[in-house]
Amino acid sequence: MLTNAGYDVSSAAGGSDGLVVARAADPDVILLDLSMPDLDGWQVLDALRRDGPLPAIIVVSAHHGESDIVRALEHGADDYITKPFGASTLLARVGVAARRAGALIARPESPTVLEWGPLEVNLTRRQVTRYGAEVDLTKAEFELLAALLERPTHVVTRRQLLDESHGPDWEGGEHSVDVHMSRLRRKLAGDSEQPSVIETVRGVGFRLVPQRDGPSVARPND
């Protein structure tokens, strides 16, 4: 089905082989089951996360409890589809993930690099540094940060963040934004005791904490 839709597909029947294929193929999107021989999906997620920046990972599983969805997101997954599902649903979700993996967040008229306090975010390279040290973010976490930086003086609702990080067809609920945001805030804080650059607006969403240097500074790509 995916091949007929125009995708170049590699497959594996188990976790160990899946890791080999993923590392060799360097895919834009990974469809990952949780119940597999040898290594299960949780072990594969952890191994991929240790490798470095993650591709877009969609967990496909018969486990449909909220705790399973939250656990998958916390392990680095970007999306979660419960079985059974229709072909059109899978193709739509893969399409969203593939577009986000290959597309630039920066619009033609947008700046390429944004700065906010200690953070420097390169929208073209999809890189984030804090005080010059690179911060390893998943695709969903990067999308959330970029969405906030595009509206530096506004509160961004959970629904807006959800649409931009997962697409409008996501079925995991707005709680998934809180899971990703919690991980994002921890990563951006590092080992520092300084306040987070992101704050929660109770009952609404999130916004960037104003910096003493003023609004975000944009400069052209080098």
Q: Is 77 within 8 Å of 68 (Cβ atoms)?
A: no
Cα–Cα distance, 155 to 1 (Å, whole number): 40
Is the pLDDT at 143 greater than 50? The verdict is yes
Q: What is the pTM of this model?
A: 0.54
pLDDT of residue 195: 64
Which CATH number, 2.40.50.140, 3.40.50.2300, 1.10.150.120, 1.10.10.10, labels domain 113-219?
1.10.10.10
Q: Is 64 within 8 Å of 82 (Cβ atoms)?
A: yes
**pLDDT tens digits for 72-124?**
888 888 889 999 888 888 888 888 888 776 643 334 445 578 888 888 988 87
Split at pLDDT 50, 70, 90, the class of 212 is low
Domain 15-102 classification at class level: alpha beta
Name the nearest CA neighbour of 76 among 100, 108, 104, 44.
44
Share above pLDDT 90 across residues of the chain, in percent, rounded to a whole number: 9
Would 15-102 and 113-219 be classified into the same CATH topology? no
pLDDT of residue 179: 85
Helix 139-149 vs helix 87-102: crossing angle, to nearest 10: 60
**pLDDT tens digits for 10-63?**
888 899 999 888 888 888 899 999 988 889 999 998 888 887 777 889 999 998
* Of residues 146 and 216, more confidently modeled: 146
Domain boundaries defined on the chain: 15-102, 113-219
pLDDT of residue 58: 92
Distances (CA, A) of 94 to 46, 88, 120, 125, 168: 21, 10, 29, 22, 13
Question: For 193-222, what is the mean pLDDT?
Answer: 69
